[in-house]
Each structure stands twice: as C-alpha cells, then as structure tokens.
Amino acid sequence: MKPTLLAVLALLTTTIAMAQSSKQVSWTYSAKKIAAMTYEVHMTATIGGDYHLYAQDAGGDGPIPTTFTFTKSPLFALNGGVQEKGQLVKKFESAWNHDVKYYEKTVDFVQVVKLKSNIKTNLAGKVEFMVCNDHECLPPADVDIKVNIGG
C-alpha cells in the first residue's frame, strides 16, 4: 500500500510542477501570407511574472533552450530555421556559471513555410521550453503547436 501511495504522490508532484512551468508562458499562434504559397508562422510567447524564457541558443550547458519540433508533411517545406524577434538579454547567471541568453515579457518566434500547392493545411508540432527567475527554475514543459496555413 505504501509504495503505491508514494508512487501516486510522486506522479502528482511532477504533474503539478510541469503545469506550473506552462502557466508562466502563454503561447499564441498565427500565420501571415508573405508571398504566393509562402507564410510566416508566428509563435509568440508571453512570459509571466519575473520569469524569463531561454533562447534557442541559450548559451553553454545548463538551461534547456527553447526548441521547436515540427511534424513533417508532404504538403509544405520549412524555409530555414525558426527566427527569434524580441529583446534578447545576455547575462551571466551564477546558477550556470556562464553567460546565458533569454527573453523577458515577450518574444516572437517566426518560421517561414512554403506550400507545395495551393491548399489548406496546418503546421503542427511541439515547443519545449524552460523558464527561470532569480530564485528558481521550473521544470521544462512541452506545448503543442497547430497553426492553419494556406487556402
């Protein structure tokens, strides 16, 4: 009985910690047509409180960088990598013992997508990220991405 109870409590604690991380960042998604069959997909993070979200190149070992993984599709091709648009902060953090790169308040991640024909589809995937403040880091979180493009 006790091992089962301990396992349930450990699982519940992990689930609550993961939920806290994703509560500190809200994600919005939109697509903007920039040329014939070419779209900019905007994945905008709004960061709560005094937390910061690490860049895709967070700098050195330690913090989990923001990482985008997209589901492959025969209907489109990704044009380049995800670009970051925001006020990048580069700062020494004693917890990692080196400079790190992150964003505060908001950052817009942009992926250019080129459709292979004039169709309506969606860009789907996941974003993994971690947030910290001056006192703590929350566990990394994964959030689903789904953005309609084309048509």
Whether domain 2-150 has CATH 2.60.40.1250? yes
Predicted TM-score (pTM) of the model is 0.85
d(CA 54, CA 118): 36
43-78 pLDDT, tens digit per residue, is: 999 999 999 999 999 998 889 999 999 999 999 999
Q: What are phi and psi of 134, to 5 degrees?
A: -70, -10
Instruction: Give residue limits of the domains in the chain.
Output: 2-150
Inter-residue contact 119 to 151 (CB < 8 Å)? yes
d(CA 3, CA 134): 36
Q: What percent of the chain has pLDDT over 70?
A: 86
d(CA 149, CA 144): 16
78-119 pLDDT, tens digit per residue, is: 999 999 999 999 999 888 899 999 999 999 999 999 999 999
Give the pLDDT of residue 19: 46
